[in-house]
Amino acid sequence: MALWEEEERMREFRGGLIGCGFFAVNQMHGWHDVEGAGIVAICDRDPERLAEVGDQLGVEHRYIDAAEMMAAEELDFVDIATTVQSHRPLVELAASRRLPAICQKPFASSLDDAGAMVKAYAEAGLPLMVHENFRWQSPIRAVRAVIEAGEIGTPFFGRISFRSAYDVFSGQPYLATGKRFIIEDLGIHILDIARFLLGDAARVDARTARVNPNIAGEDVATMLLDHEDGAASIVDCSYATRLAKEPFPETLIEIDGSEGTIRLMQDYRLVVTGRSGVARKDVSPPLLPWASRPWHNIQESVVAIQQHWVDCLRSGREPATSGTDNLKTLALVEAAYESAESRQPVEPASPLS
Ligand code: NAD
Ligand code: 89V
Protein backbone atom coordinates (compact mmCIF):
# COMPACT_ATOMS: atom_id res chain seq x y z
CA MET A 1 0.00 0.00 0.00
CA ALA A 2 1.41 3.40 -0.99
CA LEU A 3 1.65 5.82 1.90
CA TRP A 4 1.22 9.02 0.05
CA GLU A 5 -0.89 10.26 -2.84
CA GLU A 6 1.01 10.39 -6.14
CA GLU A 7 1.98 14.09 -5.97
CA GLU A 8 3.08 13.81 -2.37
CA ARG A 9 5.16 10.76 -3.17
CA MET A 10 7.14 12.46 -5.94
CA ARG A 11 8.55 15.23 -3.75
CA GLU A 12 11.83 14.96 -1.85
CA PHE A 13 11.36 13.21 1.50
CA ARG A 14 12.52 15.14 4.55
CA GLY A 15 14.52 13.16 7.07
CA GLY A 16 15.73 13.85 10.60
CA LEU A 17 18.88 12.04 11.73
CA ILE A 18 19.36 11.12 15.39
CA GLY A 19 22.88 10.36 16.65
CA CYS A 20 25.76 12.24 15.02
CA GLY A 21 28.53 9.84 15.99
CA PHE A 22 31.26 7.87 14.23
CA PHE A 23 29.10 6.10 11.65
CA ALA A 24 26.43 8.76 11.12
CA VAL A 25 28.90 10.82 9.07
CA ASN A 26 28.71 8.08 6.41
CA GLN A 27 24.93 8.12 6.56
CA MET A 28 24.90 11.91 6.16
CA HIS A 29 27.17 11.70 3.09
CA GLY A 30 24.94 8.89 1.85
CA TRP A 31 21.85 11.09 2.11
CA HIS A 32 23.57 13.67 -0.12
CA ASP A 33 24.05 10.98 -2.77
CA VAL A 34 20.56 9.49 -2.55
CA GLU A 35 17.89 10.66 -4.97
CA GLY A 36 14.55 11.70 -3.53
CA ALA A 37 15.41 12.41 0.11
CA GLY A 38 17.56 14.66 2.24
CA ILE A 39 18.27 15.31 5.91
CA VAL A 40 16.72 18.59 7.04
CA ALA A 41 17.44 18.32 10.78
CA ILE A 42 19.88 16.50 13.02
CA CYS A 43 19.92 15.59 16.69
CA ASP A 44 22.57 14.53 19.18
CA ARG A 45 22.51 14.81 22.94
CA ASP A 46 26.22 15.71 22.74
CA PRO A 47 26.40 19.37 21.60
CA GLU A 48 29.97 18.94 20.31
CA ARG A 49 29.03 16.09 17.96
CA LEU A 50 25.96 18.04 16.90
CA ALA A 51 28.03 21.10 16.00
CA GLU A 52 30.74 19.09 14.28
CA VAL A 53 28.38 17.13 12.02
CA GLY A 54 26.07 20.12 11.46
CA ASP A 55 28.99 22.29 10.36
CA GLN A 56 30.64 19.57 8.27
CA LEU A 57 27.47 18.60 6.41
CA GLY A 58 25.79 22.03 6.40
CA VAL A 59 22.65 21.28 8.43
CA GLU A 60 21.20 24.32 10.24
CA HIS A 61 18.35 22.73 12.18
CA ARG A 62 19.97 21.10 15.22
CA TYR A 63 18.47 19.56 18.36
CA ILE A 64 19.79 17.93 21.49
CA ASP A 65 16.46 16.23 22.13
CA ALA A 66 14.86 13.84 19.62
CA ALA A 67 11.29 14.47 20.83
CA GLU A 68 11.82 18.19 20.32
CA MET A 69 13.10 17.63 16.80
CA MET A 70 10.16 15.40 15.90
CA ALA A 71 7.71 17.98 17.27
CA ALA A 72 9.31 21.02 15.67
CA GLU A 73 10.18 19.71 12.20
CA GLU A 74 7.96 18.52 9.38
CA LEU A 75 9.59 15.16 8.80
CA ASP A 76 8.73 12.23 6.54
CA PHE A 77 11.07 9.82 8.36
CA VAL A 78 13.79 9.55 10.97
CA ASP A 79 17.16 7.85 10.63
CA ILE A 80 18.30 6.53 14.04
CA ALA A 81 22.10 6.21 14.09
CA THR A 82 22.65 5.86 17.84
CA THR A 83 24.06 2.82 19.66
CA VAL A 84 21.77 -0.03 20.67
CA GLN A 85 20.69 1.06 24.18
CA SER A 86 18.68 3.98 22.80
CA HIS A 87 17.07 2.15 19.86
CA ARG A 88 13.83 1.01 21.51
CA PRO A 89 12.94 4.34 23.17
CA LEU A 90 13.76 6.30 20.01
CA VAL A 91 11.93 3.90 17.68
CA GLU A 92 8.87 3.89 19.94
CA LEU A 93 8.99 7.68 20.12
CA ALA A 94 9.07 7.86 16.31
CA ALA A 95 6.15 5.39 16.08
CA SER A 96 4.14 7.53 18.50
CA ARG A 97 4.69 10.52 16.17
CA ARG A 98 3.74 8.37 13.15
CA LEU A 99 7.15 8.69 11.53
CA PRO A 100 8.59 5.93 9.32
CA ALA A 101 11.97 4.96 10.79
CA ILE A 102 15.33 3.50 9.92
CA CYS A 103 17.21 2.05 12.88
CA GLN A 104 20.90 1.10 12.93
CA LYS A 105 22.02 -2.42 13.71
CA PRO A 106 22.11 -4.10 16.17
CA PHE A 107 18.38 -3.42 16.13
CA ALA A 108 18.07 -4.38 19.82
CA SER A 109 19.97 -6.12 22.56
CA SER A 110 17.07 -8.52 23.18
CA LEU A 111 14.45 -10.19 21.02
CA ASP A 112 11.76 -8.80 23.32
CA ASP A 113 12.83 -5.23 22.58
CA ALA A 114 13.04 -5.96 18.86
CA GLY A 115 9.62 -7.63 18.85
CA ALA A 116 8.10 -4.63 20.68
CA MET A 117 9.46 -2.21 18.05
CA VAL A 118 8.19 -4.35 15.18
CA LYS A 119 4.78 -4.56 16.87
CA ALA A 120 4.62 -0.78 17.36
CA TYR A 121 5.27 -0.23 13.65
CA ALA A 122 2.90 -2.99 12.53
CA GLU A 123 0.14 -1.39 14.62
CA ALA A 124 0.95 2.04 13.22
CA GLY A 125 0.95 0.61 9.66
CA LEU A 126 4.26 2.37 8.93
CA PRO A 127 7.59 1.21 7.49
CA LEU A 128 10.47 0.32 9.77
CA MET A 129 13.85 -0.67 8.31
CA VAL A 130 16.99 -1.85 10.05
CA HIS A 131 20.15 -0.33 8.59
CA GLU A 132 21.62 -3.78 7.86
CA ASN A 133 23.85 -2.64 5.04
CA PHE A 134 26.37 -5.46 4.51
CA ARG A 135 24.04 -7.36 2.18
CA TRP A 136 23.97 -4.16 0.08
CA GLN A 137 27.72 -4.29 -0.62
CA SER A 138 28.22 -4.70 -4.35
CA PRO A 139 30.53 -7.78 -4.06
CA ILE A 140 27.88 -9.54 -1.93
CA ARG A 141 25.19 -8.67 -4.44
CA ALA A 142 27.40 -10.03 -7.21
CA VAL A 143 27.52 -13.39 -5.40
CA ARG A 144 23.76 -13.43 -4.93
CA ALA A 145 23.24 -12.63 -8.64
CA VAL A 146 25.29 -15.71 -9.63
CA ILE A 147 23.21 -17.93 -7.33
CA GLU A 148 19.95 -16.44 -8.61
CA ALA A 149 21.03 -16.99 -12.22
CA GLY A 150 21.28 -20.73 -11.48
CA GLU A 151 24.91 -20.81 -12.62
CA ILE A 152 26.04 -23.14 -9.81
CA GLY A 153 22.80 -25.10 -9.44
CA THR A 154 21.50 -25.73 -5.93
CA PRO A 155 23.83 -24.53 -3.17
CA PHE A 156 24.68 -27.17 -0.58
CA PHE A 157 27.60 -25.53 1.27
CA GLY A 158 28.67 -22.02 2.19
CA ARG A 159 31.44 -20.34 4.08
CA ILE A 160 30.94 -16.69 4.90
CA SER A 161 34.09 -15.45 6.54
CA PHE A 162 35.30 -12.19 8.07
CA ARG A 163 38.77 -12.47 9.63
CA SER A 164 40.87 -9.43 10.47
CA ALA A 165 43.12 -7.75 13.01
CA TYR A 166 41.95 -4.23 12.14
CA ASP A 167 41.76 -1.88 15.12
CA VAL A 168 38.03 -1.17 15.29
CA PHE A 169 38.32 0.06 18.88
CA SER A 170 39.95 3.40 18.13
CA GLY A 171 36.94 4.57 16.07
CA GLN A 172 34.33 2.77 18.19
CA PRO A 173 35.72 2.52 21.77
CA TYR A 174 32.43 1.10 23.12
CA LEU A 175 33.16 -2.13 21.21
CA ALA A 176 35.90 -2.96 23.72
CA THR A 177 33.70 -2.63 26.79
CA GLY A 178 30.57 -4.72 26.20
CA LYS A 179 30.15 -8.27 27.51
CA ARG A 180 29.20 -9.20 23.96
CA PHE A 181 31.34 -8.12 21.04
CA ILE A 182 31.97 -9.83 17.74
CA ILE A 183 28.72 -11.74 17.16
CA GLU A 184 26.54 -8.82 18.22
CA ASP A 185 28.48 -6.16 16.32
CA LEU A 186 30.02 -7.83 13.27
CA GLY A 187 28.72 -11.41 13.20
CA ILE A 188 25.22 -9.96 12.92
CA HIS A 189 26.17 -8.67 9.44
CA ILE A 190 27.78 -11.95 8.43
CA LEU A 191 24.83 -14.01 9.67
CA ASP A 192 22.56 -11.70 7.70
CA ILE A 193 24.66 -12.33 4.57
CA ALA A 194 24.33 -16.09 5.17
CA ARG A 195 20.54 -15.68 5.27
CA PHE A 196 20.62 -13.44 2.19
CA LEU A 197 22.58 -16.01 0.16
CA LEU A 198 21.36 -19.36 1.49
CA GLY A 199 18.03 -18.62 3.15
CA ASP A 200 16.85 -18.78 6.74
CA ALA A 201 18.60 -21.05 9.17
CA ALA A 202 16.89 -23.55 11.45
CA ARG A 203 19.82 -24.35 13.77
CA VAL A 204 23.13 -22.89 14.84
CA ASP A 205 26.06 -24.45 16.64
CA ALA A 206 28.59 -21.87 17.81
CA ARG A 207 31.93 -21.57 19.57
CA THR A 208 33.49 -18.31 20.74
CA ALA A 209 36.81 -17.16 22.15
CA ARG A 210 38.42 -14.00 23.44
CA VAL A 211 42.00 -13.65 22.21
CA ASN A 212 42.57 -9.94 22.86
CA PRO A 213 43.01 -9.58 26.65
CA ASN A 214 42.19 -5.86 26.55
CA ILE A 215 38.53 -6.20 25.62
CA ALA A 216 35.54 -7.52 27.56
CA GLY A 217 33.71 -9.58 24.94
CA GLU A 218 34.48 -12.38 22.50
CA ASP A 219 36.54 -11.48 19.43
CA VAL A 220 36.34 -14.86 17.65
CA ALA A 221 33.20 -16.77 16.66
CA THR A 222 32.76 -19.92 14.60
CA MET A 223 29.20 -20.84 13.73
CA LEU A 224 27.71 -23.79 11.84
CA LEU A 225 24.28 -23.12 10.35
CA ASP A 226 21.66 -25.57 9.03
CA HIS A 227 19.66 -23.68 6.42
CA GLU A 228 16.01 -24.53 5.89
CA ASP A 229 16.60 -25.25 2.18
CA GLY A 230 19.14 -27.93 3.03
CA ALA A 231 22.50 -26.16 2.74
CA ALA A 232 24.97 -26.04 5.60
CA SER A 233 27.19 -23.02 6.11
CA ILE A 234 30.07 -21.91 8.26
CA VAL A 235 29.96 -18.30 9.40
CA ASP A 236 33.31 -17.41 10.95
CA CYS A 237 34.38 -14.06 12.33
CA SER A 238 37.55 -12.89 14.01
CA TYR A 239 39.22 -9.65 15.01
CA ALA A 240 42.25 -11.59 16.24
CA THR A 241 43.53 -12.79 12.88
CA ARG A 242 46.77 -11.23 11.64
CA LEU A 243 47.25 -11.81 7.93
CA ALA A 244 50.00 -10.87 5.49
CA LYS A 245 47.59 -8.38 3.91
CA GLU A 246 44.85 -6.96 6.16
CA PRO A 247 41.48 -7.65 4.48
CA PHE A 248 39.23 -5.35 6.57
CA PRO A 249 36.33 -4.96 5.90
CA GLU A 250 36.00 -7.63 3.25
CA THR A 251 33.68 -10.60 3.69
CA LEU A 252 35.09 -13.63 1.88
CA ILE A 253 32.67 -16.18 0.52
CA GLU A 254 32.68 -19.76 -0.72
CA ILE A 255 29.52 -21.33 -2.08
CA ASP A 256 29.41 -24.87 -3.49
CA GLY A 257 26.41 -25.89 -5.58
CA SER A 258 25.29 -28.97 -7.48
CA GLU A 259 26.63 -27.48 -10.75
CA GLY A 260 29.57 -25.36 -9.66
CA THR A 261 31.20 -23.06 -7.15
CA ILE A 262 31.58 -19.39 -6.27
CA ARG A 263 34.66 -17.94 -4.60
CA LEU A 264 34.78 -14.30 -3.46
CA MET A 265 38.39 -13.81 -2.50
CA GLN A 266 40.47 -11.05 -0.97
CA ASP A 267 40.77 -7.89 -3.09
CA TYR A 268 37.23 -8.44 -4.36
CA ARG A 269 38.19 -11.18 -6.82
CA LEU A 270 35.19 -13.27 -7.83
CA VAL A 271 35.68 -16.67 -9.48
CA VAL A 272 32.66 -18.61 -10.68
CA THR A 273 32.99 -22.16 -11.93
CA GLY A 274 29.60 -23.06 -13.32
CA ARG A 275 27.39 -24.14 -16.18
CA SER A 276 29.06 -21.56 -18.49
CA GLY A 277 32.62 -22.52 -17.57
CA VAL A 278 35.05 -20.51 -15.46
CA ALA A 279 34.57 -16.74 -15.11
CA ARG A 280 36.82 -14.33 -13.23
CA LYS A 281 35.65 -10.85 -12.36
CA ASP A 282 36.88 -7.87 -10.35
CA VAL A 283 33.91 -6.89 -8.18
CA SER A 284 35.65 -4.04 -6.31
CA PRO A 285 33.23 -1.45 -5.00
CA PRO A 286 33.61 2.08 -6.36
CA LEU A 287 35.49 4.66 -4.24
CA LEU A 288 32.84 7.37 -3.82
CA PRO A 289 34.19 10.96 -3.75
CA TRP A 290 33.66 11.32 0.01
CA ALA A 291 34.73 7.77 0.88
CA SER A 292 38.08 6.48 2.10
CA ARG A 293 39.82 3.11 1.91
CA PRO A 294 39.37 0.57 3.40
CA TRP A 295 35.86 1.67 4.42
CA HIS A 296 34.68 2.40 0.85
CA ASN A 297 32.99 -1.00 0.56
CA ILE A 298 30.81 -0.26 3.59
CA GLN A 299 30.35 3.38 2.57
CA GLU A 300 28.99 2.44 -0.84
CA SER A 301 26.52 0.04 0.77
CA VAL A 302 25.21 2.89 2.93
CA VAL A 303 24.14 4.80 -0.18
CA ALA A 304 22.56 1.65 -1.62
CA ILE A 305 20.48 0.82 1.46
CA GLN A 306 19.38 4.43 1.93
CA GLN A 307 18.32 4.64 -1.75
CA HIS A 308 16.40 1.39 -1.21
CA TRP A 309 14.59 3.02 1.73
CA VAL A 310 13.53 5.97 -0.42
CA ASP A 311 12.40 3.66 -3.23
CA CYS A 312 10.36 1.66 -0.71
CA LEU A 313 8.77 4.79 0.75
CA ARG A 314 7.76 5.85 -2.76
CA SER A 315 6.39 2.50 -3.83
CA GLY A 316 4.94 1.32 -0.53
CA ARG A 317 7.10 -1.84 -0.75
CA GLU A 318 8.46 -3.42 2.43
CA PRO A 319 12.23 -2.81 2.80
CA ALA A 320 14.36 -5.94 2.36
CA THR A 321 15.79 -5.50 5.84
CA SER A 322 12.52 -4.50 7.51
CA GLY A 323 12.22 -4.81 11.27
CA THR A 324 10.31 -8.04 10.71
CA ASP A 325 13.06 -9.49 8.51
CA ASN A 326 15.77 -8.44 10.92
CA LEU A 327 14.14 -10.35 13.78
CA LYS A 328 15.41 -13.51 12.06
CA THR A 329 18.99 -12.25 11.96
CA LEU A 330 18.74 -11.14 15.57
CA ALA A 331 17.31 -14.53 16.56
CA LEU A 332 20.42 -16.14 15.03
CA VAL A 333 22.64 -13.83 17.10
CA GLU A 334 20.82 -14.85 20.27
CA ALA A 335 20.92 -18.53 19.31
CA ALA A 336 24.66 -18.30 18.61
CA TYR A 337 25.38 -16.85 22.07
CA GLU A 338 23.17 -19.49 23.69
CA SER A 339 24.91 -22.24 21.72
CA ALA A 340 28.38 -20.94 22.58
CA GLU A 341 27.41 -20.94 26.24
CA SER A 342 25.83 -24.41 26.26
CA ARG A 343 28.09 -25.92 23.55
CA GLN A 344 24.91 -27.40 22.08
CA PRO A 345 23.11 -26.65 18.80
CA VAL A 346 20.28 -24.13 19.28
CA GLU A 347 17.19 -23.43 17.18
CA PRO A 348 16.64 -19.68 16.76
CA ALA A 349 13.42 -18.40 18.34
CA SER A 350 10.50 -17.28 16.19
CA PRO A 351 10.15 -13.86 17.82
CA LEU A 352 6.63 -12.99 16.68
CA SER A 353 5.02 -16.39 17.32
P1 NAD B 1 28.84 6.64 18.44
O2 NAD B 1 28.84 6.39 19.89
O3 NAD B 1 30.06 7.18 17.78
O4 NAD B 1 27.63 7.61 18.05
C5 NAD B 1 26.37 7.55 18.64
C6 NAD B 1 25.90 8.98 18.83
O7 NAD B 1 24.54 8.93 19.26
C8 NAD B 1 26.68 9.74 19.90
O9 NAD B 1 27.16 10.96 19.37
C10 NAD B 1 25.67 9.95 21.02
O11 NAD B 1 25.84 11.18 21.70
C12 NAD B 1 24.36 9.92 20.26
N13 NAD B 1 23.18 9.52 21.06
C14 NAD B 1 23.05 8.41 21.81
N15 NAD B 1 21.80 8.35 22.34
C16 NAD B 1 21.15 9.45 21.91
C17 NAD B 1 19.84 9.94 22.11
N18 NAD B 1 18.94 9.29 22.86
N19 NAD B 1 19.51 11.10 21.50
C20 NAD B 1 20.39 11.76 20.73
N21 NAD B 1 21.65 11.35 20.52
C22 NAD B 1 22.01 10.19 21.09
O23 NAD B 1 28.40 5.25 17.77
P24 NAD B 1 28.68 4.75 16.27
O25 NAD B 1 29.97 4.03 16.23
O26 NAD B 1 28.40 5.84 15.31
O27 NAD B 1 27.56 3.61 16.15
C28 NAD B 1 26.21 3.95 16.07
C29 NAD B 1 25.45 2.71 15.60
O30 NAD B 1 25.90 2.40 14.28
C31 NAD B 1 25.74 1.47 16.44
O32 NAD B 1 24.53 0.77 16.64
C33 NAD B 1 26.71 0.65 15.60
O34 NAD B 1 26.60 -0.74 15.77
C35 NAD B 1 26.28 1.04 14.20
N36 NAD B 1 27.34 0.91 13.19
C37 NAD B 1 26.95 0.38 12.02
C38 NAD B 1 27.88 0.22 11.01
C39 NAD B 1 27.38 -0.39 9.72
O40 NAD B 1 28.16 -0.66 8.81
N41 NAD B 1 26.09 -0.62 9.59
C42 NAD B 1 29.21 0.60 11.19
C43 NAD B 1 29.56 1.18 12.42
C44 NAD B 1 28.60 1.35 13.41
O1 89V C 1 29.79 -2.58 10.67
C2 89V C 1 29.89 -2.39 11.87
O3 89V C 1 28.93 -2.52 12.55
C4 89V C 1 31.19 -1.94 12.48
C5 89V C 1 32.40 -2.73 12.14
C6 89V C 1 32.56 -3.06 10.67
C7 89V C 1 33.64 -2.01 12.62
O8 89V C 1 32.31 -3.93 12.86
O9 89V C 1 31.04 -1.86 13.86
Same domain? 208 vs 69: no
Same domain? 151 vs 100: no
The three-state DSSP-derived secondary structure of 35-75 is: CCEEEEEEECCCHHHHHHHHHHHCCCEEECCHHHHHHHCCC
Query: Pocket residues for ligand 1 (CB within 6 Å)?
Result: 18-24, 43-46, 49, 66, 81-84, 86, 90, 104-105, 131, 133, 172, 185, 298
Query: Pocket residues for ligand 2 (CB within 6 Å)?
Result: 168, 172, 185-186, 189, 249
Q: How far is the CA of 147 from the centre of ligand 2 (A)?
A: 26
Which ranges of the chain does DSSP label H, i.e. alpha helix?
6-10, 24-33, 47-57, 66-72, 87-96, 111-124, 138-148, 182, 188-198, 296-315, 323-342
**Is residue 309 situated within a structural domain?**
no
Per residue in 63-95, pLDDT tens? 999 999 999 999 999 999 999 999 999 999 999
**Is residue 310 situated within a structural domain?**
no
Task: Supply the pLDDT for residue 1.
Answer: 40
Same domain? 96 vs 54: yes
DSSP string for 121-182: HHHHT--EEEE--GGGSHHHHHHHHHHHTTTT-SEEEEEEEEE-----TTT-GGGGTSS--H
Please name which ligand lies nearest the alpha carbon of 137.
1
- Higher-confidence residue of 51 and 1: namely 51
Same domain? 37 vs 7: yes
Confidence category of residue 302, pLDDT binned at 50, 70, 90? very high
Per residue in 217-231, pLDDT tens? 999 999 999 999 999
Measured by CA distance, the residue closest to atom 7 of ligand 2 is 168
Please name which ligand lies nearest the alpha carbon of 326.
1
Residue-range definition of the domain harbouring residue 110:
3-132
Measured by CA distance, the residue closest to atom 4 of ligand 1 is 21
CATH code (residue 106)? 3.40.50.720
Q: How far is the CA of 22 from the centre of ligand 1 (A)?
A: 7
Q: What phi, psi does 206 have (nearest 5°)? A: -130, 150
Strands 269-274 and 277-282: antiparallel
Q: Is this model's pTM higher than 0.75 or not?
A: yes
Per residue in 115-133, pLDDT tens? 999 999 999 999 999 999 9
Confidence category of residue 350, pLDDT binned at 50, 70, 90? confident
Measured by CA distance, the residue closest to atom 9 of ligand 2 is 185
**Is residue 352 situated within a structural domain?**
no
Task: Supply the pLDDT for residue 165.
Answer: 98
Task: Supply the pLDDT for residue 196.
Answer: 98
Please name which ligand lies nearest the alpha carbon of 299.
1
Beta bridge partners of 77: 15
